[in-house]
Homo-oligomer: A and B are copies of this chain.
C-alpha cells in the first residue's frame, strides 16, 4: 500500500545565515514496500551544526546536500511495514533518513537499537547515546587525549556535545572544567546541572579575559565547538603540551567572508601544543567502549542531558536555524 511522506528539501544553498526560504516542504509518495526494504515512521529527527557545512558545495568529509533533494541526517523511528526478517514491524531503528516523517528504503540503511532505558525517550539515540554523546567521548578521550588532572575548557558548553563533554571530564577525574556559553541561563545550568566548575557568558566580556580569570593555572585540554575568539583565547591559556580537539566552528559557519585565524598561532610552537580536528565517523573502533560506558552512566544517573524539542516535521528548518542561533540547551530534536 502506498503512503505519502512529508519531507523537507533544500531549494538553495544558504548565503550566510540560513533562512526558512532555503527549504521547502514536499509530499513524496512511496509505493508498496519492496523485498529487502522497510517502511519506518520517524519519532525524532536530529538537527546538527555539521549540517550547515553540508549545505555548502565545498570539499568536506561528507558530500554536500543536493539542491532539490530531501535533507538527510540522524533519525530514530519504528518499523511500520517490513519485507525483511531481521527488522520486524515494531522494531526501533536508528538511521540517516532524517527530515521526513516516513522513510522507506533498503533495510541496509537501518540499525535496530534496544528500547531506550526506562524513563528516557527514543531521542536519546540522537543525543547522549548517539552521535552527540559519541562525539563528546571521542573528542575528549581520544582526540584530546584527556588524562585525569587535566584542566578542561569547553566552548559551546551548553550545546548538545558540550553538556556531555563536561560531565565525562568530571567523571574521568578532571579537577576543573570550565565552560563558555551565550546566556546567563545557560551559564547557570552548566554549573547547576552539568558538573562544570566554572562557566562564563562569552557575550558579556572578551573570551580571552574571562578564560584567563577562570583558569588562573592555565588549561590542558580544549574542546572547541565554536572556533574564532574562543580558540584564540584557548591558545593563550594553554599550558605546555596542551591539546585541542577541534569539533566545530559554529561562530564561522554562517560567515560570508573568510574569517581571520587566531593571532597567536606561534603559541602552538613555543608551548608544544597539538590541535586536532576530527571526524567522528572515522573512530568507530571506540563505539563499543562508548556504548558500554555511556549506558552505564545513564543507568546510574551519573550523566544528565537536556533536549530542546520542536514539534512537527514541518518545523524542521526552524529548529535547525534556531539551533544555529543558540536557542537550544542540550540537544535540539524535532518530534515527528
Contacts and interface: CB of A to CB of B under 8 A. Distances in A.
Given A260-B261, A261-B260, A274-B275, A248 B268 contact: no
Contacts of A264: 258, 261
Copies of this chain: 2
Given A61-B240, A240-B61, A275-B275, A259 B263 contact: yes
Nearest to A268: B277
A53 interface: yes
A266 B266 CA distance: 18
A275 B282 contact: no
Contacts of A261: 232, 260-265
Interface residues of A, number: 37
Interface string A240-267: 1000001111001000001111111111
A60 B260 contact: no
Contacts of A269: 246-249, 277-278
Given A260-B263, A263-B260, A265-B231, A273 B276 contact: yes
Given A227-B266, A263-B258, A277 B282 contact: no
A279 interface: yes
Interface in A205-251: 227, 231-232, 240, 246-249
Contacts of A172: none
A269 B267 CA distance: 20
A220 to B, nearest CB: 15
A105 B174 CA distance: 44
A272 interface: yes
Which of A53, A265, A267 has the largest number of chain B CB atoms within 10 A?
A265
A59 interface: yes
B231 A270 contact: no
A247 B272 CA distance: 9
A193 interface: no
Nearest to A270: B60
A111 interface: no
A282 B272 contact: yes
Contacts of A270: 53, 58-61, 277
Interface string A111-130: 00000000000000000000
Interface of A: 53, 58-61, 227, 231-232, 240, 246-249, 252, 258-279, 282
The 7 A-B residue pairs with the shortest CB-CB distance in the complex, in nearest-first order:
A261-B261, A268-B277, A269-B277, A258-B263, A261-B262, A60-B270, A275-B275
17 contacts: A59-B270, A60-B270, A227-B266, A231-B265, A248-B269, A259-B263, A259-B265, A261-B264, A261-B265, A262-B265, A267-B277, A269-B277, A272-B276, A272-B282, A274-B274, A274-B275, A275-B276
